[in-house]
Every structure is written in C-alpha cells, then in structure tokens.
Chain A
Amino acid sequence: MKRDEMRVGVCIIEGSNSEDETAAAFRSLGTNAEVVHLKQLLHQDVPQDEERTLDDYDVFVIGGGFSGGDYIRAGAIFANRIRSSLFDDLKGFVKSGKPVLGVCNGFQVLVELGMLPDLDSQGLSERPEAVLHLNDSDRYECRPTRLKHVNRGTSKITAHIPLGEVRIVPSAHGEGRLLLHPSDPDKTVKTLADNDQIVFTYTDENGNDEVPYPYNPNGAPGGIAGITNRDGNVLGMMPHPERSFWRWQHPDWTRTGGLKKNGPEPGDGHAIFEGVVRYAEKAL
C-alpha cells in the first residue's frame, strides 16, 4: 500500500487529548490521517457525512493524555465503550494484521481492552490480562525519558529500529507501572521477555538496564515502557513519541540539529510513526 492511500484514524472520546499532534505526525509522513470520535464509528449523534466505520482505516491509533476523566481507572471508560460496541470489528481489524498504536492513555486503553499483552493471540479479550498501575512515586511524572529498543523481531512496527538503540521520548503519566502478576514482578518480565513482547525499556545515559527512578518514571518491573502483542502488529507505549517527533521538540534542540536550514529535522519519536507506516506499506 502506498503512503498517500493510507488512512489513519486517531480515535478519541470526550476528554481525549494529544490527538492533533498524533494525527499531524502521521500526516507529515504522507498518510491521510484524521481524528475520529468514537461516536462517528458508532453512527451516534453525528451528521451522515461524518459517519465512519473501522474499514475506513488502515491504521488505528489511540493517543494519550487522558480520556473520560480517567474515572474508575485510566483508560477503563474508553476501553469499555469500545468493548461494548466495536469489540468484534476491532478484533477483526487486529487479526487482519492492520497496525494499532496506543500511546500513554492509548496504551492504558489497549491493556484494559485485553489487546495487550494478548498472551493467547486472541486479538482482544473480555477481561484485561494486565494493568498499568499507579506510579511507584504516587504522582504524575513528566520528563524526557530514554528508551532502549530491546525487541528481537516480534514487533513488526519497530523492526527498522536497531536492537539496543536509545531514543529520547517524553513521559507524562500517573499510572504507567505495567503489571501482569502483581505479587511477582519478575514473572511479569519473564512472561513478556520469553514471548519477545517487550519493545522498549527505560534506560539511562549509559544505556544500562533495570535503571532506578527517575530514569524509570513509574517503577515498572524490568523498566518496561512499551510492549507488543504476539503477532507484532499492536504497539503500546507509555512515553509520547509525538512529543519528540521533530528535533526542535527536544530540550537540547539547538545543539542537536534542530536549526538545520533544509527543513525541520526528525526527532527521536519520529521512528515510531515511521515504523507504523512502513509496516502498513509492506503488510497491507
């Protein structure tokens, strides 16, 4: 599929944010990206010309920030609104191999939906298999974080990023501690590592693993920052790649090429969007 034919849907509900930056990132890569409200997909209270179906999209994205006030648990309202109405459609979407990206609140939604980690490769599940629990610090953590790409091949979206490469992507969340087995954090890491489902881990300026706070902002075991499903076409990550998409969004942008004259230089988050588009180009 060619980029200019690719349709990207950035899905929102009431109280979502970051959707404009996320759609802009996909648009700047030559795709047709639009922000789509869940009501447009459900044909509720919208003019006929704004009605959409999941089939209208080749890439499905949930961005982040917050949604539905994040009442009950972060992402729970959004996830259950999807589950009650789009469960089968979205399951078909994922199983057909189309890419899904969830960033921050979007990752929380995908976990609540059971789309991640999806240990049995079902696409979606009735009950969540994991949780993004309160940060260890018991507060909202917001700062640039270093992410190491640790996936050995399962993640098709990040296949073009070299193993071990470190990228700076800002984190901004209060609930980012990924747990599958809450009383046994090591088991969470082992389960996901055995399946090669861990995509990004937090690291420090020396590329170390298992780094402490504040390098790991939430205390996730193994420093897990992003994971994929078993089929490798769904990526969920807590840090925000749309917030370091351009070099000038980096805190040290004047020293690292942000001032080049031949147009804006891509930042460290660029590769994640590029990966989604490249995968869709090849697979669809």
Chain B
Amino acid sequence: MYRAEVRIGLKKGVADPEGANTHKTLKLLGFEDIREVHTVKLFTLDVDTDSEAAAKDEVERACRRLLANPVIHDYQVTLQKA
C-alpha cells in the first residue's frame, strides 16, 4: 500500500482570490511581513499496490482525470509506503 499526497495549486499567473483575500485580512491583523498568500488543495490517496511506479502512475492519472483542471492547476505528488 502506498499513501500519496497530492498537492493541487494554481499555475503561475492565475488569479487566486481566496489567497488574496486571506492576505488582506492577515495584513489588517498586523501580519506585515507576510508577502504573499497562496491557496492549495491537498488530497491523500491510499493506493492498493506494492509497486511505487504503479502507485505513481495511478495517482497521476487521477490528477489528470479529475483532481486537477490542466487549464489552471499544477499538481505535485509525494508517495510514502504505508
């Protein structure tokens, strides 16, 4: 079994209203040193296989198929044997 962490982020240049809004609020609270805020979505997927390559392939297909929209999203996958 492998546990995958999939981090879905917005591509560079895509407006991130949620991040911008959070940043604004943090500034109002006095967090002057925080330069930028970006939001990401994190999924954990447990993949039923003993092969790391197979797990990676399965998760990447899931990203392309459902978890990310390639128009605006980048994704990063990290795998850990569970």
Contact = CB atoms under 8 A, between A and B. Distances in A.
Q: Do A and B bind each other?
A: yes
Interface of A: 72-73, 76, 80, 112, 127-131, 133-138, 177, 179-180, 182-183, 219
A129 B71 contact: yes
A72 B66 contact: yes
A128 B71 contact: yes
Contact of B18 (A72, A138, A177, A182): A138
Given A128-B69, A180-B71, A135 B17 contact: yes
Interface in B65-82: 65-67, 69-72
Given A127-B64, A182-B13, A183-B14, A138 B20 contact: yes
**Majority secondary structure, A binding face:** loop
Interface of B: 11-15, 17-18, 20-21, 64-67, 69-72
Contact of B69 (A112, A134, A136, A183): A112
A76 B65 CA distance: 10
B63 to A, nearest CB: 11
Contacts of B18: 134, 138
A131 B71 contact: yes
A62 B12 CA distance: 32
A72 B67 contact: yes
A73 B71 CA distance: 13
B14 A133 contact: yes
A158 to B, nearest CB: 25
A117 to B, nearest CB: 11
Contact of B14 (A127, A182, A219): A182
B71 A179 contact: yes
Given A131-B72, A179-B72, A138 B17 contact: yes
Contacts of B13: 182-183
B71 to A, nearest CB: 5
Contacts of A130: 71
B45 to A, nearest CB: 13
Nearest to A80: B66
A133 B21 contact: no
15 contacts: A72-B66, A72-B67, A76-B66, A127-B70, A128-B69, A131-B69, A133-B15, A133-B72, A134-B15, A136-B17, A138-B20, A177-B15, A182-B14, A182-B15, A183-B13
B14 to A, nearest CB: 4
Contacts of B70: 127-128
A70 to B, nearest CB: 13
A76 B70 CA distance: 13
A258 B3 CA distance: 60
A19 B11 CA distance: 34
A138 B24 CA distance: 12
A91 to B, nearest CB: 17
B12 A183 contact: yes
Contacts of A131: 69, 71-72
A138 B20 CA distance: 9
A23 B21 CA distance: 38
Contacts of B21: 138
B49 to A, nearest CB: 21
Nearest to B65: A80
Contacts of B17: 134-138
Nearest to A180: B71
Contacts of B65: 80
